[in-house]
Amino acid sequence: MGEEREKVRVSRQRITHILLLCAIVSVGLMGYVDHLTMTAVDVQSTERDIKQKGAIDVTRTQMPKVVFETIDGVSVDVEKYRGKTIVLHFWATWCVPCVKEFPELLKMSALAGENVVLLTVSNDRDGQAVQKFLQKVDKENLAQGANVVLAIDPARTISQEVFQSYKLPETILISPSFEMVKKIVGAETLWSDPEMLRYLKEM
Amino acid sequence: MIFRLLIAVMLSFVVSVSHVQAQDVMKKLDVQGLGNVPILHDGRIKPMDSFARHIVRLIARKDELGGVSAVEILAGLIFQDGKMVERPLFVIKNAEVVTALSLDVKRGKYYSYRELAQAFQQNAGMLNSLMAKGEDVSGREAELLNLYAKHSEITEILGSLSVLLPYSIKDDAILEALQLQDMDIVTYQDIKKTMAQRKGELLGALSAKDMGSDKVTALQRQLIAMIYSMQHVEQDRFTRIFRVIPSVWKEDGEEWFSPWGVLEEGRGSPVTQGLMVEWTKLALAYRNADQGMWDDALKVITSVAMKTQEKGYDAEIFSVEMVYNNLRLFDVAMWLCLIVFVSVLLSKVLDNKFVLSFSIITLIITFIVSLLAIILRMYIMQRPPVTSLYESIVFVAVVVFFMALMLVRRQYALMGVMIGSTVGGVLLLIAKGYEKEGDTMGTLIAVLDTHFWLATHVVTITIGYACSLVVALIGHIYIVREVMKADAASQKKLFALLRYNTLLALFFTVLGTILGGIWADQSWGRFWGWDPKENGAMLLATWMVWLIHGWQAKFFRPFSYALAASMSSLVLVLSWFGVNLLNVGLHSYGFTQNIALNMGVFFAIELTFLIVSWVIYGRRERKSARL
């Protein structure tokens, strides 16, 4: 009987020791884990800091505020077109695919109606090259497209430093709420396709 | 190949002339925060810390080198710290490779990026002919090509940020000529832009034959040098490894891009532009060892990534992965195994129950630690515990710890602790070898990404492997005890335990194999395809069936049963590792010299042990029969 009790006592003692040791190890481990997670970035305070410093606007797809200069030397604030679909097109007259694509874009602009603005930004050195090129393209389409803005960006400040556009031609589709919805790299040949026109109108 | 070699050589040139001349940056700047930045690598968004460890393990087979952490090494590489390309980072264990590349034999066996770049340049012809050989290369040649591949990967990392690194142009005349005098930070993009616009004007009507003549002014000479330098940098435009820029375009899905990739693939946007400016600031902060600027830039970079949750980033998982990386629980478990092993030996020598209790408690802790590691991995990867060979090894180790503890509970304390510490420890050591191959949390191939069947089949079969291993070990212990003439009563008890474990192994291997068939049926449309891995699993199950039937039919006596049970270790190694070496089937990883060699050594030792035991036992039996 006494032996049995002794056995139970030893066994209980052993269990207590094991539990105690596990507790000590767990506390140590928790402390260490806590220390490690402290080194990770605190999400909320980081966002607060950034807002205060006015760094990158992390509302990612909003169209930034930019003012373009047309080939005629007129400044155009993009804000003017809020409420319309904007087809922001980066191109240059020395870029072969751009030159092939351009008439198709003008055709699209003529067909799409007033609520779609074609904003082309040329990377040429001066407006003359663009003017010269336009003389060759379908003047009818150009005349009909009342919503065509022919801007020029010789220093590539807007093209490269704002929109990071390097692979001409590049096109960004912007919704009436100024959301940059889609980016098309390379020449798109289906601009005047009915489906594309419907997509642009319903954006 | 020559092209890559050229890049390597050019890069070493560019590194030497243009970029960071950081003076002991590490002493002044705490770069560890870089470890929190997310990166898309191997199909998974992971902390930079994991990426850095992967890279450093790949070249140095270590997590850190001479007190410099993986993140510090990576920072040195991406920001083109001149000291980092001079630092011995590449380990070459094979002396023949060192000789083949005409490198100096070093005791430490570590070589710098630049040393290897020069060696590869000098041996370009040899490398070319090796590549032409295709798969028909010797072990030494394969290692040489492997080293070259690793070097190329570092070349890519060195060039990954060159598009945005700040240039230090000290000559005001050049800055003025390029109209960059008003800019605080000048990058490759700025120089390239102004060069493209004003090249003709700056160089005038210089023709090729004018070069080197008196017609060329000092300024023009410098500009020509700069054009060449830009051309070198432009070679990096193919680098895609450093995917730290999340795309904002919906059509890109969960794709992230390298800085060069953003520009080359036309995925830029105002946000990516802003992010790249922050990376430039980070590089500048690194160069100037400016902690304030470093921390600010890092905060913006991390925060933008955090805003892109739909791009595969999860802050919770991220911090858990950082904790997992830092805790290195499997390493802790491995050291604990050593403590258990030493203490259990001590308890036997000293005949001290307290020391035995200590070893049991330590084994419990080892089990908990390794189980925690597996749980953390499951959480990080959001998938079942066993999806690769590495994971199957650590999982078997955990199951072995558990079974060892069960043995302890069934009054086999000494045996349980011995099995747990030795087998578990050795398995974790083997796993550590695999860890050095790179990231152990890689992406699954599509067919494995079916959670339910993966969880059931692979886990069951792996438990089956663990049980078979325990069967083999108890068999070994039985044999040793029999040869050492242990008392019959305890041997009988042990034999019952061996048979019980054989049943357990049979249950899991058969169930695992059948579940594997069901999975194969779901994934590939056939239940059984005689794939080597399927055959291996069936072989193990058949072996267990043979053991049990052999005993029931009185074909085996206890000793021969133990011998056959011990041999299940050979069958296990064959089906676990061996079938992967075959160049056929769906589970093939290709022939690996090291695995083949290790398997050969294991087979030789195991067979020697079994034959010697059998001979000793047989002689003794015959002797006693004669008496």
CA–CA dist A144, B313 (Å, integer): 47
Q: Tokens 């050492």 identify what position?
A: B484
From the number of C-beta atoms within 10 Å of its C-beta (0-12, 13-18, 19+), residue B343 rates as buried
Nearest C-alpha in A relative to B195: A155
Min CA distance, B534 vs chain A (Å)? 41
In the DSSP assignment, the letter for residue B211 is: T
CA angle B369, B388, B327 (to 5 degrees): 30
The yes-or-no verdict on residue A186 having pLDDT over 60 is: yes
AA letter at B481: R
Question: Do B409 and B371 touch, CB atoms closer than 8 A?
Answer: no
**In angstroms, rounded to a whole number, what is the distance separating the alpha carbons of residues B459 and B423?**
19
C-alpha of B75 from chain center: 20
User: In B, which residues are within 8 Å of A183 by CB distance?
Assistant: 249, 251, 266-267, 269
| CB-based contact, A115 to chain B, within 8 Å | no
Q: How many CB contacts within 8 angstroms connect chain A with chain B?
A: 117
Q: Which of B251, B268, B299 sits opposite A165 (nearest CB)?
A: B268
What is the number of alpha carbons within 13 Å of residue B63 lying toward its C-beta?
11
Q: Is B212 left (phi over 0), alpha (psi -120 to 50) or beta?
A: left
Amino acid, res. A78: V
Look at A181 and B357 and tell me if their CB atoms are within 8 Å. Answer: no
Task: Determine the residue among A51, A53, A183, A185 to mutate to test chain B binding: the one whose Cβ has the most chain B Cβ atoms within 10 Å.
Answer: A183
On the CB side of A194, how many CA atoms lie within 13 Å of its CA?
0
- Predicted pLDDT of residue A136: 79
Cβ neighbours, 10 Å, residue A11: 10
- Confirm if A90 and A159 have CB atoms less than 8 A apart: yes
HSE-CB of B296 using CA atoms within 13 angstroms: 16
Which one-letter amino acid corresponds to residue A149?
A: V
Closest chain B residue to the Cα of A164, Cα to Cα: B268
pLDDT of residue B62: 87
Would you state the pLDDT for residue B160? 95
Find out whether B424 and B365 touch, Cβ atoms under 8 Å. no
User: Would you say the C-alpha torsion A134, A138, A143, A147 has a positive or negative sign?
Assistant: negative
The closest of B590, B554, B549, B576 to B464, measured between CA atoms, is: B576
Show residues of chain A in contact with B364, CB under 8 Å: 18, 22
- Could you list the mean pLDDT of each consecutive 10-residue stretch along chain B, which spans 627 residues? 41 41 64 92 90 93 89 95 93 90 90 96 93 81 91 95 88 80 83 76 64 71 80 91 90 90 92 92 93 93 74 78 92 96 94 92 96 94 85 94 92 90 94 81 63 81 93 94 90 93 95 89 82 85 94 92 95 85 51 73 95 93 83
Helix axis angle for B48-60 and B315-327, nearest 10°, is: 40
B306 contact residues in A (CB cutoff 8 A)? 43, 46-47
Nearest CA in chain B to A62: B270
Question: Is B267 in Cβ contact with A162 (below 8 Å)?
Answer: no
- List of chain A residues whose C-beta atoms are within 8 Å of the C-beta of residue B276: 164
Q: Provide ipTM, 2 decimals.
A: 0.75
The model's pTM is 0.80
Residue B166, H or E segment: strand B166-167
Residue of B50, B186, B264, B319 to mutate, interface with A, max A Cβ within 10 Å: B319
The helix/strand/coil state of A120 is strand
C-alpha atoms less than 13 angstroms from C-alpha of B594 in its C-beta half-sphere: 9
What confidence score (pLDDT) does residue B133 get? Answer: 86
**Would an 8 Å CB–CB cutoff place A125 in contact with chain B?**
yes
Determine which helix (DSSP H) or strand (DSSP E) holds A202, and give its type and residue range. helix A194-202
The single-letter DSSP state of residue A73 is: S
d(Cα B408, Cα B358) in Å, to the nearest integer? 13
What does the alpha-carbon distance between residue B459 and residue B463 come to, in Å, rounded to a whole number?
6
Compute the mean pLDDT over every residue in chain B, rounded to the nearest whole number.
86
Q: Provide the shortest C-alpha distance from residue A139 to chain B (in Å).
A: 30
In chain A, the residue whose alpha carbon lies closest to the alpha carbon of B368 is A22
Q: What is the pLDDT of residue B386?
A: 86
Mutation for testing the B interface, residue in A16, A25, A58 having most B CBs under 10 Å: A58
Q: Give the pLDDT band (50/70/90) at residue A47.
A: very low
User: Distance, in angstroms, between A167 CA and closest chain B CA?
Assistant: 5
Looking at the complex, does the CB of residue A167 fall below 8 Å from at least one CB of chain B? yes
Contacts of residue B264, defined as CB under 8 A and 6 or more positions apart, other chains included, come to A166, A167, B237, B238
pLDDT at B194: 81
For the stretch A51-101, pLDDT in tens is: 444 445 544 578 888 999 998 889 999 999 999 999 999 999 999 999 999
Partner-chain residue, chosen from A22, A61, A160, that has the shortest CB–CB distance to B193: A160
Residue of higher predicted confidence among B355 and A37: B355
Sort out which chain A residues have CB atoms less than 8 A from B314's CB and list them. none
d(CA A1, CA A29): 42
Query: Per residue in B265-306, pLDDT tens?
Result: 999 998 899 899 999 999 999 999 999 999 999 999 988 877
**CA-to-CA distance for B100 and B120, rounded, in angstroms?**
10
Rounded-to-integer distance, Cα A91 and Cα A116, Å: 19
